[in-house]
Amino acid sequence: MEPISLFLLWLAAAVFIPEPGNLVVLLDEADGSVGRIVVSTAAGSQVLETANTGVNVLNQESPPTPPKAISQEQIRATFGKALDAAPVPPERFLLYFLTGTSTLTEESRAEIGKIAASFANRKQARATIIGHSDTVGDADVNFRLALLRAEEIRKIIIAAGLNAERIDARSHGEKDLIVKTVDNVDEPENRRVEITIW
């Protein structure tokens, strides 16, 4: 029987009982964090908790080999097709607005190119856009303003080429503040749109 290669992209903590002839490799997350894997057979266990380490398991009657470093070249040679097939991780963007308007700040206008590039890297991109406001003024007015902000960004994203049916725009108004404030506080970080692209 040919060896079966198995890799795990992420696990916080897991117990894995492998099939005969497996190579089990622990990879790091996109953010650089590393989980933990316990590889067990009837004859023993090994713990993987360092990125790019792996163990071999011949069968259930043999213990897993001691952990060893696996080079990027070996990971790419063994798991390259599977890694290439993995989806691009979601990307998140925050855009900020001038007070009481749906006009982007200069810094946020500069982010539009990065957002368009994120769409270009995905075959079937989807986006969620959530509009927010600060607490200045009436809560109902702020809800509508936050929705207007989300809809304005939706138009920009559609103009960049994303199918309108793949974009969800909504408002949280002043209900989900990044900077917690009392009512009627002009807080620039709360006047935002959150965009998640996956």
Residue 147: which region, alpha, beta or left (left: phi > 0; alpha: psi -120 to 50)?
alpha
Specify the amino acid at residue 18: P
Over range 13-22, report the average pLDDT: 54
What global pTM score does this model have? 0.68
State the DSSP code for 44: E
Residue 4 has pLDDT above 70, yes or no: no
Residue 27 to residue 63: CA distance in whole angstroms? 21
Q: Of 23-32, 64-73, 91-100, which range is least confident?
A: 23-32
Domain ranges of the chain: 4-85, 91-197
Amino acid 41: pLDDT: 93
Lowest mean pLDDT among 16-25, 121-130, 142-151: 16-25
pLDDT of 144 strictly over 80: yes
Among the four given CATH numbers 3.40.50.150, 3.40.50.2300, 1.10.10.10, 3.30.1330.60, the one describing domain 91-197: 3.30.1330.60
Tell me the C-alpha distance between 168 and 130, whole Å: 8
pLDDT in tens, 168-185: 999 999 999 999 999 999
> What does pLDDT average to over the chain?
88
Q: Which residues contact 183 (CB under 8 A, 6 or more apart)?
A: 135
Distances (CA, A) of 7 to 17, 47, 51, 64, 105: 13, 15, 12, 15, 44
